[in-house]
Amino acid sequence: MKKNSAVFKSDLNFKFACNKTLPSIELVYETYGEINADKSNAVLVCHAFSGSHEAAGLTSDGNKTGWWDEIIGPGKAIDTERYFVVSVNNLGSCYGSSGPKSISMETSEPYSSKFPDVCVLDWVNSQKLLMDELEIDCWEMVAGGSLGGMQALQWAVSYPEKIKRAAVIAATAQTSPQNIALNEVARQIIRKDSSFNNGEYISYNTTPKEGLKTARMLGHITYLSETNIQRRFGRKKQAPGTKVAEEVNFEIENYLQYKGDQFSEFFDANSYILMTKAMDEYNLADQFEGNMSKALERIKSKLLIISFTSDWLFPSWHSRRLQKDCILSNVESSFIELEGSYGHDSFLFASPEYSKILKTFLGS
Partner 1 sequence: MDSAYLNNWIKNESKVIDLGCGDGSLLRDLMNTKSVNGFGVENDLEKIEKCIENNVPVIQHDLDDGLKDFKHLGFDAAIMASSIQCLRNPKSALIDLLDVATTCVVSIPNFGYWKIRLLMMAGRMPVSSRLPSKWYETKNIHLCTIKDFEELCAELNLKILEKIYLNDHGKPLKKLKRGNLLAAEGVYLIGA
- Residue 100's nearest CA partner among 268, 216, 265, 215 is 268
Find the part of the chain contacting partner 1 (CB under 8 A) among 142-150, 199-207, 249-257, 316-324. 316-324
Candidate list 90, 333, 341, 346; residue touching partner 1; CB under 8 A: 333
The question of whether 47 is a catalytic residue gets the answer no
The span from the CA of 33 to the CA of 80, in Å, is 5
- Does residue 60 bind partner 1 (CB under 8 A)? no
Residue 324 exposure: Cα atoms within 13 Å on the Cβ side: 7
Based on the shown chain and the rule CB under 8 A, indicate whether residue 324 belongs to the binding site for partner 1: yes
Q: Considering only 134-142, 230-238, 264-272, 332-340, which stretch makes contact with partner 1 by CB under 8 A?
A: 332-340
Catalytic option among 69, 280, 311, 345: 311
- Candidates 200, 283, 320, 349; binder of partner 1 (CB under 8 A) is 320
Region of 205 on the Ramachandran plot (φ > 0 left; ψ -120 to 50 alpha; else beta): left
Identified catalytic residue from 93, 98, 146, 225: 146
Q: Among 47, 53, 318, 344, which one carries the catalytic annotation?
A: 344
Contact flags string 285-314 toward partner 1, x per CB under 8 A: -----------------x-x----------
Stretch near partner 1 under the rule CB under 8 A, chosen from 63-71, 149-157, 270-278, 351-359: 351-359
Three-class SS state of 277: helix
3-class DSSP assignment, residue 94: coil
Question: Which of these, 239, 225, 233, 198, lies nearest to 341 by C-alpha position?
Answer: 225
In the bound complex, what is the minimum distance in angstroms from residue 358's beta carbon to partner 1? 10
Cβ-based neighbour number of residue 146 at 10 Å: 26
Asked if 122 is an active-site residue, the reply is no
- Is position 271 annotated as part of the catalytic site? no
Bridge partners of residue 32, in order along the sequence? 3, 85
Q: Which of 93-101, 190-198, 235-243, 325-333 is the region at the interface with partner 1 (rule: CB under 8 A)?
A: 325-333
Task: Kindly tell me which of 276 and 307 has the beta carbon lying closer to partner 1.
Answer: 307
Residue 169 is a binding residue for partner 1 (CB under 8 A): no
Q: CA-CA distance, 75 to 77, in Å (whole number)?
A: 7
300 alpha-carbon distance from chain centroid? 23
> Is 160 one of the binding residues for partner 1 (CB under 8 A)?
no
3-class SS of residue 83:
coil
Task: Spell out the residues 6+ positions from residue 7 whose beta carbon is closer than 8 angstroms to its own.
Answer: 26, 27, 28, 29, 96
Q: How far is the CB of 323 from partner 1 (least distance, A)?
A: 6
Q: Which positions are catalytic?
A: 146, 311, 344
Q: Which residues bind partner 1 (CB under 8 A)?
A: 302, 304, 320, 323-324, 327-328, 330, 332-337, 353, 356-357, 360-361, 363-364
